[in-house]
Amino acid sequence: MHEQMIWLPPRAVGFRELCEACEDEHPELAGSAAATVSGSLRLDEERGWATCGRGHTMRVLRMHAAMPAGALR
């Protein structure tokens, strides 16, 4: 499994995202609330970590307003 990353817009503090590892391991959970992770990142923080209910970790990164188009690909 590749490293999971959550990208937050410059002024966002909260997030709710699907956990790709949960969906890969349990296809029946695809798109369901059971395969999500939620959390927050203070505005003065650039990075953090989130963990889903099944223990998969994700890196949380804040995007910068000056990031060029396509930088996340």
Q: Can you give the pLDDT at residue 29? A: 80
Please classify residue 11 by burial: count the beta carbons closer than 10 Å to its beta carbon, then call 0-12 exposed, 13-18 middle and 19+ buried: exposed
Tokens 């990164």, residue? 61
> 32-72 pLDDT, tens per residue?
788 899 999 999 999 999 999 889 999 999 998 765 555 55
Question: Hey, CA dihedral for 34, 6, 15, 45, is it positive or negative?
Answer: positive
Q: Does residue 33 or residue 4 have the better pLDDT?
A: 4
- Give CA–CA dist 8/18, Å, rounded: 14
Is residue 6 a contact partner of residue 23, using CB atoms and an 8 Å limit?
no
> 13-37 pLDDT, tens per residue?
999 999 999 999 988 888 778 889 9
Is residue 52 a contact partner of residue 22, using CB atoms and an 8 Å limit?
yes
Q: Can you give the pLDDT at residue 2? A: 73
Domain boundaries defined on the chain: 4-62
- Its pTM stands at 0.76
